[in-house]
Amino acid sequence: MSTSVRPVRGGRTGLAARLVVAFTLVMGVAGVTAWLVAGFAGPVLFHRHLVGTGVADPAAVVHAEEAFRSASALSVGLGLAVGLATSLAVAVVLARRVGRSLHAVATAAALLAAGRFDARVPTPRLGAEFDALATSFNAMAGQLADSEQLRRRLLADVAHELRTPVATLGAYLDGLEDGVVELEPQTIAVLRDQGARLTRLADDLAAVTRAEAPGVQVARVRTDPNDLLLSAAAAVADRASAAGVLVRVERGDGLPGVLVDHDRFGQVLGNLLDNALRHTPAGGAITLAAARTPERAVRLTVSDTGSGIPAEHLPHVFERFYRVDTARSRTDGGSGIGLAIVRALVEAHGGRVAAFSDGPGRGARVEIDLPPES
């Protein structure tokens, strides 16, 4: 750690000095009390007891009292000295241990503030409170590290997505300017296409940001799951028949209603159907089905007979900007955000979503489980 990061220090007096002062004060009060008792009350009591036992010889009384006084002074003095030394030692040891742990936390906090998100504090073993402090601190640092990583990746992804259309637009404009490229309908189509891609990216980014915002608002209405599927199928009917793909709906019998935001759920099923259409060649089929799971949730399934998803990609398809076949998706215009939006919106409805495929060429299936209306 060669950085010049230092914890910010508060007042000047350290913990050790404060503890020493506190312990010395306590010992001082104890000493004064002991001295008062031993110097005033003790001799009076001793004298009374001595006379009470019948010792009459004045010389013997004086001698005994003298002995009492020096014994008292010795024991009080010795006790105080040992007590003071012990308390000083304890104060120093305690202050060192507490100080070391606090210093570790302060240093780690300063590192975090300077952008070093890998800073962690060791468990101090100084009791439950300090251990809890260290644990929560490390949890906080972990969260910060995660969101920082997410932020970087998002920026890198966005930059990557922007580069291709912007570069294409730039190249065409240069070509037009130099007279190498003619302003033909074909050229205009390419330019418009790249522009549309940028617009779509902006829309997708806005949509995913909205969908992933904490506490996203969903206006839920009680709905028959079959109706959701029917209207989603109707929305893509034209595109499907143009692509030569059959879309069918398998209604579920006796299903409970689900509470969903119609617009948002239209978006969810629309994104899934969009993917299915894009990956299913002519002659294939897409099936929308509603059924009940053993856990009494309502399961909506969108399956297709298309190109399928290789197993190693399945766990990642819901991540933002994740595309299985980047080259192909690029020409198709997908930015890899559709399923991220799907997941965020399904989770905002208290549901869960998962993707399955029996492998390349064997179709894909996405299942959404929604809690039944209660």
Ligand X SMILES: Nc1ncnc2c1ncn2[C@@H]1O[C@H](COP(=O)(O)OP(=O)(O)O)[C@@H](O)[C@H]1O
Q: Does 325 bind ligand X (CB under 6 A)?
A: yes
From the list 223, 275, 287, 305, which residue makes contact with ligand X (rule: CB under 6 A)?
275
Q: Does 338 bind Mg ion (CB under 5 A)?
A: yes
Q: Does 337 bind ligand X (CB under 6 A)?
A: yes
Q: Which does 276 bind (CB under 5 to 8 A by kind): Mg ion, ligand X, none?
A: ligand X
* Site for ligand X, residues 353 to 372, rule: CB under 6 A: 364
Let me know how long the chain is: 374
From the list 279, 299, 343, 349, which residue makes contact with ligand X (rule: CB under 6 A)?
279
In the complex, minimum distance from the CB of residue 215 to ligand X, in angstroms, rounded to a whole number: 23
Contact segment (CB under 6 A) with ligand X among 112-120, 169-177, 179-187, 301-309 equals 301-309
Q: Which does 349 bind (CB under 5 to 8 A by kind): Mg ion, ligand X, none?
A: none
Residue type, 102: L
Q: Does 349 bind ligand X (CB under 6 A)?
A: no
# residues contacting Mg ion (CB under 5 A)? 3
Contact segment (CB under 6 A) with ligand X among 86-94, 136-144, 232-240, 332-340 equals 332-340
CA distance 12 to 371: 59
CA distance 10 to 150: 34
Q: Which does 301 bind (CB under 5 to 8 A by kind): Mg ion, ligand X, none?
A: none
Q: Which does 322 bind (CB under 5 to 8 A by kind): Mg ion, ligand X, none?
A: ligand X
In the complex, minimum distance from the CB of residue 301 to ligand X, in angstroms, rounded to a whole number: 12
Q: Which does 364 bind (CB under 5 to 8 A by kind): ligand X, Mg ion, none?
A: ligand X
Q: Does 275 bind Mg ion (CB under 5 A)?
A: yes
Q: Does 223 bind Mg ion (CB under 5 A)?
A: no
Q: Does 299 bind ligand X (CB under 6 A)?
A: no
Q: Does 300 bind ligand X (CB under 6 A)?
A: no
CA distance 243 to 283: 9
Query: Exposed/middle/buried for 222, CB within 10 Å: 0-12, 13-18, 19+?
Result: exposed
In the complex, minimum distance from the CB of residue 307 to ligand X, in angstroms, rounded to a whole number: 5
In the complex, minimum distance from the CB of residue 341 to ligand X, in angstroms, rounded to a whole number: 8
Contact segment (CB under 5 A) with Mg ion among 35-43, 58-66, 301-309, 337-345 equals 337-345
Name the residues that contact Mg ion, by CB under 5 A.
Answer: 275, 334, 338
Name the residues that contact ligand X, by CB under 6 A.
Answer: 271, 275-276, 279, 304, 306-309, 317, 322-325, 329, 334-340, 364
